[in-house]
Chains A and B, each alone.
Chain A
């Protein structure tokens, strides 16, 4: 049981805009930054979004992050087949005094 809640799956067609959610609580998302990671099977995760909505160098601006009270969202516009991957949200939890993750969303490009 993950501290952050993500839908297990999402899908879209090429060119479409998709969003995926990450739900938390007052001890984590409300008071801390949210991070998003992209992971392809068999490879290490890659930091996609940091500090709620910032993109590391090299991440296309098709990827965007947002946060609202106890939840966060990752949006991908202009969906491409190579975006098919697992996406994880993460943040710090003040009660647990540690990083917490969502269970991950598997994105399928139809």
Chain B
């Protein structure tokens, strides 16, 4: 079955770049799905970060757009997230998911990223 797994540093310093990778298994990343990032600050609700299709379509959260890059790496069945100039407000559990531009139907387990010096 389809599985997704997030990976990346659990601690990032303020003003630096948060980088995460999502590895997809059980399905090619070139399948006709969007690949999605969500996040959830500790004790708070869900927030959509952005969605990308391997064919090139990408959507970013308006509040993060100026700092955010989402990319697909088809040769490795991975997609990634880079968020620049992070602050404590970016501390969250980050989830990757398969879905469409407007939902996620298969989610990874999530990875906590803390922004702190």
Contacts and interface: CB of A to CB of B under 8 A. Distances in A.
A104 B103 contact: no
B47 interface: yes
Given A88-B46, A104-B46, A44 B103 contact: no
A99 B104 CA distance: 10
A90 B107 contact: no
Interface string A32-63: 11010101000111110010000010000000
A97 interface: yes
A45 B45 CA distance: 11
A85 to B, nearest CB: 13
Interface in B41-78: 45-48, 51, 59-62
Contacts of A44: 95, 107-110
Contacts of B60: 98
B85 to A, nearest CB: 20
A96 B103 contact: no
Contacts of A39: 46
A96 B62 contact: yes
Contact of B45 (A43, A46, A103): A103
Query: Chain A contact residues: over half helix, strand or loop, or mixed?
Result: strand
A45 B103 CA distance: 11
Interface string A1-22: 0100000000000000000000
A92 B101 contact: yes
A46 B62 contact: no
A55 to B, nearest CB: 12
A63 to B, nearest CB: 15
Given A44-B95, A91-B102, A98 B48 contact: yes
The 10 closest A-B pairs by CB, nearest first: A99-B48, A92-B102, A44-B107, A35-B103, A104-B45, A47-B105, A101-B46, A103-B45, A44-B110, A98-B61
Interface of B: 38, 45-48, 51, 59-62, 95, 101-105, 107-110
Interface of A: 2, 32-33, 35, 37, 39, 43-47, 50, 56, 88, 90-92, 96-104
